[in-house]
Chain A
Amino acid sequence: MPQTLPDFSNSVKLKYVKLGYQYLVNHILYLLLVPIMVAILIEVLRLGPDEILNLWKSLHFDLVQILCSSFLIIFIATVYFMSKPRHVYLVDYACYKPPVTCRVPFATFMEHSRLILKNNPKSVEFQMRILERSGLGEETCLPPAIHYIPPTPTMEAARGEAELVIFSAMDSLLQKTGLKPKDIDILIVNCSLFSPTPSLSAMVINKYKLRSNIKSFNLSGMGCSAGLISIDLARDLLQVHPNSNAVVVSTEIITPNYYQGNERAMLLPNCLFRMGGAAILLSNRRRNRSRAKYRLVHVVRTHKGADDKAYRCVFEEEDKEGKVGISLSKDLMAIAGEALKSNITTIGPLVLPASEQLLFLMTLIGRKIFNPKWKPYIPDFKQAFEHFCIHAGGRAVIDELQKNLQLSAEHVEASRMTLHRFGNTSSSSLWYEMSYIEEKGRMKKGDRVWQIAFGSGFKCNSAVWKCNKTIKTTTDNPWSDCIDRYPVHIPEIVKL
């Protein structure tokens, strides 16, 4: 009994020590600058005005010198301001809400599975076990073509789903932002597994009658992290083109990729991937500065494709019967962890406060020089960010990241609840998570958000946003009818 009290008081002391250290290191500049300024002020006051005037006259400035120095100052200032990257603002975004009639409860999914895979009860059992532990809820949606017995994944159905999802998201975005289709200068559409000709971006241009000199891009095959790759591309384009609007559409079309074989590693995506999409408006126009929701601060992309194991861990291939599916390897989590470490190493110095970086540096030096057995210091990212949006790739991904980054349950709540309500919607899941945080009223001005996405390749991409204004809750978003029921407790295993 008496042993716990000293521990408690120790930990409190430790907390204050930590706080003191953080304040010291993070504000070192101010702490050094203030005494110097005070000293100068005292010196100036001591000298008195006459002395200062004499000092000034003794410097012997003539006109040429003054002009040159002022031109130099103006020149340096101009170069500095011109080379500063343009700020990219996220004006607003819209997520697609699937119709309630596309809902797939667990029981329906399992029954269909049984009817389609009637010769493979083991595969059905496997799917059932995955579904029980998946963290999905009873309201996730699949596109209409997958509801048929047997499913009819034709190209026409895939185009139908693409039109439904993308046009709904675009309509919603145009309505929310008041953007006119003629004002879109850059269009980027990313959809990994469905890539028809003409492309999905051409489909959008056709539907909304966009300008003929639009810069359109269609990214396919880049996996679940393609959303952030599109954002990165948009940012680069907005550096080159002043005064422009860029629309990014992130989605994943499920229809053509429903695996109809019975290879276990390939059945997993069937259980997790669901219908969803998002449309985002980015802009570098000054007039959008005041009404924009977020400002893009950093985008960090890490690619582990050079490693063979990482390259093959999410692989689309044919199974023994010639049916195409995406096979997930068993070391997916390990590779994801490696990719995350890589990404953190790059993003850490950009976002972490000086105190954390110093600690990390000290531990690193210590490990290299003194004792390799020292535990590596995991920087506390909770000090750099208020909100975390972890790609809802699956329960395991969220658990792994929560453990690695030492996040609390509230930090990962947005990810878990998005997985429960919408399933794994691939590249658009980050936007559903942002929407959740906003609808819960937690997004305040100045908050920093970290979006992390993993994707095939193996890639780990991050984006850092800073909230521009406190965001009020609205009614035209996918969470509007169910936000009050969340957060829900998601059991380890749901008994089917």
Chain B
Amino acid sequence: MTSEMITYICKRTVVSTKPAQAGKCNPLSVFDRLMEKNHIRIVYYFPSTRNGEPGVVTKKLRESLSHVLTCFPIVTGRLQKKDDGHWMIKCNDAGVRMVEARTQGSVEEWLKNVNRDKELMLVTWEDMFHKPYFWATFYVQLTEFEEGGLAIGFSCSHLLADPTSATMFVKAWADTTLAGTMLAPPFFHPLPPPRLGNKNPNHNPYTDLINHYKSTIDDRSPAFTNNITNYVTATLAFSGPMVQACMLDTSRPSPFEAMAGLLWVCVSKVKGMKQGLISMSICLDMRKQLGLDKGFFGNCLVYNKVHHAESLLDKSELSEAARAVGESVTKMNNERIMDLIEWLEHHDYEFPPLMNGHDLICANLEDLDPYATLFEEGFVPIRVSYYVEPVFGIGQILVLQSPPSEGPLSRMVMVTLPADELSKLCDDDLILRFNPTILMG
């Protein structure tokens, strides 16, 4: 065990190369403000590079990080409350925290016996200080493997970025290291404003979505503060043909819906539900629906509860689950999201909610494209893991892309459940029918 412990070399702050424009402030949107209690952690694993000298790669990455931060003043800014009590970012140029570490062995060896706790050691994170103005919102950890390889741990507060934005930032960093320029510059602007003018006076706002948010915000149940449950994460890799088989079984056109349906049914079983399914919410990226550019930096994830009819005897539970997921997905369209935004603008809450604290959360992170993050020519990440912390309540499922060598339809699913339930899940018949490779856990 000791051979896999990480030696921390140093901790410092990395600032941009050009001073930020003084006095600039960016308010946070309604979606941003909801995510105060959460933070994101991402781990990128890279194979050994040509440069064998320890510390050389770290230095290069640190310098390129400085360069890329010049274009992301929000990342180097600090949180402050506006006069109306809402958060904003003051672009004061304070920087991101960087931790440099070293560990023995090689990346490949590490990946063979990694688990949730070990993986989280590769990402540094500090919870919000009592005085948030001095609290760094972004953290980077570079861990060099002595026998080859590099792990980049990236964490940030969910207030400022969602997994899409975080991935985009790391990609911009990689582009800057590789070629000196960013291929996709970021956009910092508010969410689309409510449409004025052609508003139908008989328009009924989509109550289901709003109700879901309302109940989440109003829920102050003590389950939030209970953190005794020991959560474990497993990474299951489903190959392309298997995902296709699942899609055929459930007769759904989208891999996410098929995977979500499958996991929903299996998790319900291990939770002990004899009839019906546990309550689940899906979480999707709404940039396209809102007409925002892919480079929109900020939160654009919307949660929606999945409603399912009681399972009928002639339909299989799996296809019914997947159908319900699909229905939920189609219900999240532009009009309904705009209604939600408008409702949120007018509905103030005293305490920020825990958006992923009730139901089983199933997030669609298929389109993030993290394997295009190349810091050096030809060195594709071996694996990229995502965590949306903290995990409370029933559990969490993240549907991610697989490395490109596995094919476009293959998927990697990171499931976080209490320890005993997870082991039961990995032995479940339905899951095993699709023959997943257990990469972690």
Interface positions of A (Cβ within 8 A of B): 100-101, 103-108, 110-112, 114-115, 137-139, 147-149, 152, 496
Determine if B93 is an interface residue (Cβ-Cβ < 8 Å). Answer: yes
Residues on B with C-beta less than 8 A from A107 are 78, 92-95
Q: Tell me whether A101 and B94 are in contact (CB under 8 A).
A: no
Give the nearest-CB partner of B63 in chain A.
A101
Q: Tell me whether A149 and B62 are in contact (CB under 8 A).
A: no
Of the residues B12, B18, B92, contact of A147 by C-beta under 8 Å: B12
Given known pairs A101-B63, A103-B17, the reply for A138 and B12 (CB within 8 Å) is: no
Q: Tell me whether A105 and B62 are in contact (CB under 8 A).
A: no
Q: How far is the CA of A138 from the CA of B22 in the complex (A)?
A: 10
List 25 A-B residue pairs with CB atoms under 8 Å apart, sorted by A's residue number: A100-B18, A100-B66, A101-B14, A101-B63, A103-B15, A103-B17, A104-B15, A105-B19, A105-B20, A106-B92, A107-B78, A107-B95, A108-B15, A108-B94, A108-B95, A110-B134, A111-B94, A111-B136, A114-B134, A148-B11, A149-B11, A149-B12, A149-B97, A152-B10, A496-B92
Q: Tell me whether A139 and B93 are in contact (CB under 8 A).
A: no
Give the nearest-CB partner of A100 in chain B.
B17
Q: How far is the CA of A105 from the CA of B134 in the complex (A)?
A: 14
Q: Tell me whether A138 and B66 are in contact (CB under 8 A).
A: no
Give the nearest-CB partner of B64 in chain A.
A101
CB distance from A9 to the nearest CB of B (A): 46
Encoded as 1 (CB less than 8 Å from any A CB) or 0, chain B from 16 to 30 comes to 011110000000000
Determine if B13 is an interface residue (Cβ-Cβ < 8 Å). Answer: yes
Interface positions of B (Cβ within 8 A of A): 10-15, 17-20, 62-63, 66, 78, 92-95, 97, 134, 136
Of the residues B11, B14, B134, contact of A111 by C-beta under 8 Å: B134
Residues on B with C-beta less than 8 A from A149 are 11-13, 97
Q: How far is the CA of A149 from the CA of B136 in the complex (A)?
A: 13
Q: How far is the CA of A147 from the CA of B10 in the complex (A)?
A: 10
Residues on B with C-beta less than 8 A from A110 are 134
Q: Tell me whether B15 and A105 are in contact (CB under 8 A).
A: yes
CB distance from A469 to the nearest CB of B (A): 35
Give the nearest-CB partner of B92 in chain A.
A107
Given known pairs A101-B17, A107-B78, A139-B19, the reply for A148 and B95 (CB within 8 Å) is: no
Most buried by B among A100, A104, A114: A100
Q: How far is the CA of A152 from the CA of B9 in the complex (A)?
A: 11
CB distance from B119 to the nearest CB of A (A): 24
CB distance from B6 to the nearest CB of A (A): 17
Most buried by A among B63, B78, B94, B136: B94
Residues on B with C-beta less than 8 A from A114 are 134
Q: How far is the CA of A87 from the CA of B94 in the complex (A)?
A: 50
CB distance from B438 to the nearest CB of A (A): 38
Residues on A with C-beta less than 8 A from B94 are 105, 107-108, 111
Of the residues A106, A139, A147, A152, contact of B13 by C-beta under 8 Å: A147
Q: Tell me whether B93 and A105 are in contact (CB under 8 A).
A: yes
CB distance from A29 to the nearest CB of B (A): 55
CB distance from B319 to the nearest CB of A (A): 54
Given known pairs A105-B94, A138-B19, A138-B93, the reply for A112 and B66 (CB within 8 Å) is: no
CB distance from B182 to the nearest CB of A (A): 18
Q: How far is the CA of A76 from the CA of B17 in the complex (A)?
A: 64
Given known pairs A101-B62, A105-B93, A138-B93, the reply for A112 and B13 (CB within 8 Å) is: yes
Q: How far is the CA of A475 from the CA of B102 in the complex (A)?
A: 40
Residues on B with C-beta less than 8 A from A148 are 10-12
CB distance from A101 to the nearest CB of B (A): 5
Residues on A with C-beta less than 8 A from B134 are 110-111, 114-115
Give the nearest-CB partner of A111 in chain B.
B134
Q: How far is the CA of A21 from the CA of B193 in the complex (A)?
A: 75
Q: How far is the CA of A277 from the CA of B108 in the complex (A)?
A: 46
Residues on A with C-beta less than 8 A from B93 are 105-108, 138
Q: How far is the CA of A138 from the CA of B136 in the complex (A)?
A: 19
- List 5 extra interface pairs beyond A107-B78, A107-B93, A111-B136, CB under 8 A: A103-B17, A105-B15, A106-B93, A148-B11, A149-B11
Q: How far is the CA of A103 from the CA of B12 in the complex (A)?
A: 13
Give the nearest-CB partner of A147 in chain B.
B12
CB distance from B132 to the nearest CB of A (A): 12
Give the nearest-CB partner of B11 in chain A.
A149
Q: How far is the CA of A149 from the CA of B18 in the complex (A)?
A: 22
Give the nearest-CB partner of B78 in chain A.
A107
Q: How far is the CA of A149 from the CA of B139 in the complex (A)?
A: 14
Residues on B with C-beta less than 8 A from A112 are 13
Residues on A with C-beta less than 8 A from B95 are 105, 107-108
Residues on B with C-beta less than 8 A from A152 are 10
CB distance from B56 to the nearest CB of A (A): 15
Q: How far is the CA of A366 from the CA of B243 in the complex (A)?
A: 104
Residues on A with C-beta less than 8 A from B97 are 149
Residues on A with C-beta less than 8 A from B11 are 148-149
Give the nearest-CB partner of A149 in chain B.
B11
Q: How far is the CA of A103 from the CA of B19 in the complex (A)?
A: 9
Given known pairs A105-B93, A105-B95, the reply for A111 and B13 (CB within 8 Å) is: yes
Q: How far is the CA of A134 from the CA of B39 in the complex (A)?
A: 37
Residues on B with C-beta less than 8 A from A104 are 15
CB distance from A56 to the nearest CB of B (A): 80
CB distance from A130 to the nearest CB of B (A): 18
Residues on A with C-beta less than 8 A from B17 are 100-101, 103
Q: Ordered nearest first, which 9 A-B pairs have the shortest CB separation?
A: A107-B94, A138-B19, A105-B93, A107-B92, A100-B17, A147-B12, A101-B66, A149-B11, A148-B10
Q: How far is the CA of A138 from the CA of B63 in the complex (A)?
A: 18
Give the nearest-CB partner of B97 in chain A.
A149
CB distance from A151 to the nearest CB of B (A): 10
Q: How far is the CA of A230 from the CA of B182 in the complex (A)?
A: 48
Q: How far is the CA of A103 from the CA of B94 in the complex (A)?
A: 11
Q: How far is the CA of A101 from the CA of B13 in the complex (A)?
A: 10
Residues on A with C-beta less than 8 A from B12 are 147-149
Q: How far is the CA of A496 from the CA of B23 in the complex (A)?
A: 10
Give the nearest-CB partner of A114 in chain B.
B134
Residues on A with C-beta less than 8 A from B78 are 107
Give the nearest-CB partner of A495 in chain B.
B23
Most buried by B among A104, A108, A137: A108
Q: How far is the CA of A111 from the CA of B12 in the complex (A)?
A: 11
Q: How far is the CA of A476 from the CA of B10 in the complex (A)?
A: 34
Q: How far is the CA of A89 from the CA of B78 in the complex (A)?
A: 52
CB distance from A393 to the nearest CB of B (A): 24
Q: Tell me whether B13 and A108 are in contact (CB under 8 A).
A: yes
Give the nearest-CB partner of A138 in chain B.
B19
Q: How far is the CA of A242 from the CA of B15 in the complex (A)?
A: 50
Q: How far is the CA of A476 from the CA of B97 in the complex (A)?
A: 33
Q: How far is the CA of A100 from the CA of B93 in the complex (A)?
A: 14
Q: How far is the CA of A162 from the CA of B92 in the complex (A)?
A: 31
Give the nearest-CB partner of A103 in chain B.
B15
Residues on A with C-beta less than 8 A from B136 are 111
Most buried by A among B13, B95, B136: B13
Give the nearest-CB partner of A150 in chain B.
B11
Q: How far is the CA of A111 from the CA of B14 in the complex (A)?
A: 12
